[in-house]
């Protein structure tokens, strides 16, 4: 009987060790929650992965069901939220205008990435406090950076948080040019 108990204890220790290791897909989030989006041992190739959904102008979803928040940019809100009201206060634009701007940014992002394969580039921090991956997203087909395209065409503004500032100088230049030429949302 003692051998059976010892075996079960050893087996449980191996299982816990596996679950908490980097070999498992499970990741421990704040508040001690463990999330297992796939079976154990499944790794993702972030060099060539499918975008299955555009949540809004600066957030997409991959075939793995992971959400990606585009680093370094911000687009107007599409839904009622605290941020929508902060955007209204900051820009002095009405709610309907902000929401329409958000929808325009979402449509642009959708035209770029929906149903397409992308490559992710990470900066210093890999996830935000909501558990979303933070990334610079590149189209596999032509190498364009989605974050930069949103700024170039005027559908986003710079929104950087150190330490994730790898491309901030390029982003500043793109935003300046879009603003000067009244592209995208700068024309509203």
Percent of the chain residues past pLDDT 70, beyond the cut = 78
Residue 141 is encoded by which pair of tokens?
């087909």
Annotation says 86 is catalytic: no
Give domain limits for the chain: 2-35, 49-187
Provide the 3-class DSSP secondary structure of residue 72.
strand
Annotation says 183 is catalytic: no
| Confidence at residue 44, expressed as pLDDT on a 0 to 100 scale | 82
Active-site option among 3, 27, 53, 69: 69
Q: What is the pLDDT of residues 15-33, one digit of tens each?
A: 544 444 433 333 433 334 4
Alpha-carbon span 74 to 29, nearest angstrom: 24
| Confidence at residue 38, expressed as pLDDT on a 0 to 100 scale | 45
Annotation says 67 is catalytic: no
Tokens 């996830």 found at: 127
Cα torsion 164, 134, 179, 90: sign? negative
Average pLDDT over residues 78-94: 92
Third-level CATH fold of 49-187 = OB fold (Dihydrolipoamide Acetyltransferase, E2P) (2.40.50)
Mean pLDDT of the residues in the chain: 85
Active-site option among 132, 141, 149, 180: 132
CB 139 within 8 A of CB 116: yes
CB-based contacts of 72, cutoff 8 Å, min separation 6: 136, 147, 158, 159, 160, 164, 165, 167, 168, 171
Q: What is the pLDDT of residues 128-170, one digit of tens each?
A: 999 999 999 999 999 999 999 999 999 999 999 999 999 999 9
Active-site option among 31, 53, 61, 77: 77
């Amino acid at each position: 009987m003692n051998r059976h108990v010892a075996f079960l204890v050893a087996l449980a220790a191996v299982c816990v060790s596996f679950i908490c290791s980097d070999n498992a897909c499970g990741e421990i989030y704040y508040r001690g929650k463990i999330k297992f989006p796939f079976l154990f041992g499944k790794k993702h190739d972030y060099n060539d992965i499918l975008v299955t959904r555009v949540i809004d102008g600066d957030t997409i979803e991959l075939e793995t069901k992971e959400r990606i928040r585009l680093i370094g940019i911000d687009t107007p809100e599409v839904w009622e939220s605290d941020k929508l009201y902060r955007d209204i206060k900051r820009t002095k634009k009405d709610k309907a205008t902000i929401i329409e701007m958000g929808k325009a940014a979402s449509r642009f992002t959708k035209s770029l990435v929906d149903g397409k394969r992308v490559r992710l580039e990470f900066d210093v921090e890999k996830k935000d406090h909501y558990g979303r991956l933070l990334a610079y997203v590149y189209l596999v087909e032509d190498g364009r950076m989605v974050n930069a395209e949103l700024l170039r065409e005027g559908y986003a503004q710079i929104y950087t948080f150190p330490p994730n500032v790898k491309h901030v100088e390029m982003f500043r230049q793109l935003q300046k040019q879009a603003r000067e030429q009244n592209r995208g949302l700068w024309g509203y």
